[in-house]
Structure 1
């Protein structure tokens, strides 16, 4: 017992520290020997963990692992890489204690509880995207990991081998790409009606070396659409630019879709686009609808929730009576661009209720504002066109709107396949033809 590395005096001091003062002196040597045995057992397991990790320095993590292997509760504290500072106890030359700051008991009681240290988990994050390390907390730059006094390009490992530290890769553009980006943005903002801009769009749709510029074009489009909703020519130019980027088969544009979709949807269902009445925002909404459909068709297999989310947004804009009529128009065109099946499932069941909502806006007696009446007729025409196209596809051929206006000819073509429709579809056909007759001014017929 006398050769124990844990002296009996240490056991005595610990017992007094926890308020146990009535122990027999014969107990201290036995407890010291048992404590030494437990310490040696834990340290042997910790050394095994260190060697399995192919290290030569024992760490506190090795000790925690050894405690877990022995089914012993781990040490609940925050790990520290700094060495503990010990002070010699007064009147005890062989007794030391950790030099810690004295705390007021009142401050400790009133202080909020600190968070428990999290358990060891595995989290996934992007180490690099297209060769570029994203600036996120998980990817701390190497400069922050090196001590300020030892900020060198190389370090010495424990075995004496020099290791070079490579800094994170920066997104560096060549001078040619920088000039190309500046020229494209300049043409988009100020010279969108010139021939050079059309040639630039062709280049964006076919050039295979433009991938480094994709994040810059994405930020440019998002920023300009956000700040220039009243600038109709610029909005149209930006949508044409996005259309060219989407068409380019050489660009890996999937990581940037979540940034490109909001400005495109804004140009489709925004309440107001442009600042003048002469601005043909209807054409811009039609173009944006085709662009949304193109994105869903090309990338729908990669992002399975893309088209359902877009459809849900458009349906909400279509069925919300508080939305402006141009927003309804954009929603109808967007749903129509997604295909006849979407129209058949979402637009046709709401055709008659929506007409009842729209009818007061079409009449001069009830809507005296000529602008709103013009918007209502725009929505009315788009709705008839979409529904007529979808119904005609069920008849195995496509009827254009001008054919639908010719009442007698259309009636003959509807007679043959009419029996193949369900009752609610026949009712919808009657309603469609009735609406077209109201526009054309010709008498109705019986089916």
Structure 2
């Protein structure tokens, strides 16, 4: 019994190959690192365990393919399974010729000579180690023809050409200036110009400034008019920038603005206009607050691109409407927002009558004041 147990333990010991700590120390010294004996021993033990684990996993890939010969691809699959980069350069089918070193029992693969001229003029292109894959990415050209990340909203205009930069400065100066006639011309041009696709992310960034001018109703109205002109421009593809536009518009609908502190400021009209614009982004035509002719479904222009965003907006409006802590202006914005998005979403408040009596009383109070 002892002899069989000893033979079994001997076979178990011979099954694994250990890397000595001297080899680990030599590898570290080749990279300029000095290791102590304790650290080298710990690293050698960890390396042996990792190699046994990779070998065991690669043998599983070999068995699944019903083979008895372990290949380099099996080992690379095991490495990828462990989130480790694959080993390149050892996938050749033929065996590598090894040459011994006279000084010790060391073998190294013999390097073959390569004619660079013949290799450069060869018609057969060697297969790379990386797998071929197709990845779709939509990019938009900025003013200089460089590829910009999809949906990115830049904060600087230094990359624009002189003509586009001049147009951008004139439009922003006209919209935020004191001349109403000049502002009307600029907004009309934004609505019909077919050559401002490169400026779209910059105007979207301008519209996002509603959060910094929440104390000025006039500026908020003008920024919403810029967003409305961009949405109505048939030559612009708003797909990657709809989320940013919706966030700016929804801010004007729901948030308690600094201008709403003064009861003399008519921020209710601002919320009505923002709700209409929010509806126009998701529907084929501008929605109205009249309940007679509601839109029937999201438009194919923007609705297909932001179908998931549409549901998120509904949930946000419903959450604000059911929150008793939110102020009256936020509840009003949620009501007009749900009303503008269609007759189907207006059935939601009646499904929770116990949670909304305070909202109904507030809405009646608003109607009496108006």
> If the length of structure 1 is used for normalisation, what is the TM-score?
0.47
Whose Rg is larger?
1
CA distance in 2, matches of 1:261, 1:177: 25
Q: Which has the higher contact order (CA 8 A, sep 6+)?
A: 2
Within-5 A mapping of 1:25-424: 72=71, 73-75=74-76, 76=79, 78-79=85-86, 91-92=103-104, 95-96=106-107, 124-126=135-137, 128-129=139-140, 132-134=146-148, 173-191=160-178, 194-222=180-208, 224-274=209-259, 276-298=262-284, 299-343=302-346, 345-349=347-351, 354-356=356-358, 359=361, 377-378=365-366
- The CA deviation at 1:243 is 0.5
Give the gaps of 5 or more residues in structure 2.
Answer: 1-13, 19-61, 91-97, 110-129, 151-157, 285-301
Q: How many residues align?
A: 247
CA distance in 1, matches of 2:237, 2:173: 24
- Contact 1:267–1:273 at 8 Å: present in 2 too? no
Could you say if the C-alpha distance between residues 351 and 329 of structure 1 is closer, same or farther in structure 2, counting changes exceeding 3 Å?
farther
* Residues 199-241 of structure 1, C-alpha deviations (whole Å, 9 max, x = no match): 111111111111111111112222x123222222211111110
Could you say if the C-alpha distance between residues 121 and 331 of structure 1 is closer, same or farther in structure 2, counting changes exceeding 3 Å?
farther
- Contact 1:87–1:97 at 8 Å: present in 2 too? yes
Could you say if the C-alpha distance between residues 97 and 71 of structure 1 is closer, same or farther in structure 2, counting changes exceeding 3 Å?
closer
- Contact 2:210–2:248 at 8 Å: present in 1 too? yes
- The CA deviation at 1:324 is 0.7
Q: Which residue of 2 aligns with 1:37?
A: none
CA distance in 1, matches of 2:101, 2:239: 66
Could you say if the C-alpha distance between residues 313 and 332 of structure 1 is closer, same or farther in structure 2, counting changes exceeding 3 Å?
same
CA distance in 2, matches of 1:324, 1:90: 87
* Residues 293-342 of structure 1, C-alpha deviations (whole Å, 9 max, x = no match): 10010322443333322222111111111111000000111111122332
- The CA deviation at 1:247 is 0.8
> If the length of structure 2 is used for normalisation, what is the TM-score?
0.56
Kindly report the root-mean-square deviation, in angstroms, between the aligned alpha carbons of the 2 structures. Answer: 3.9
Q: Secondary structure at the match of 2:256?
A: coil
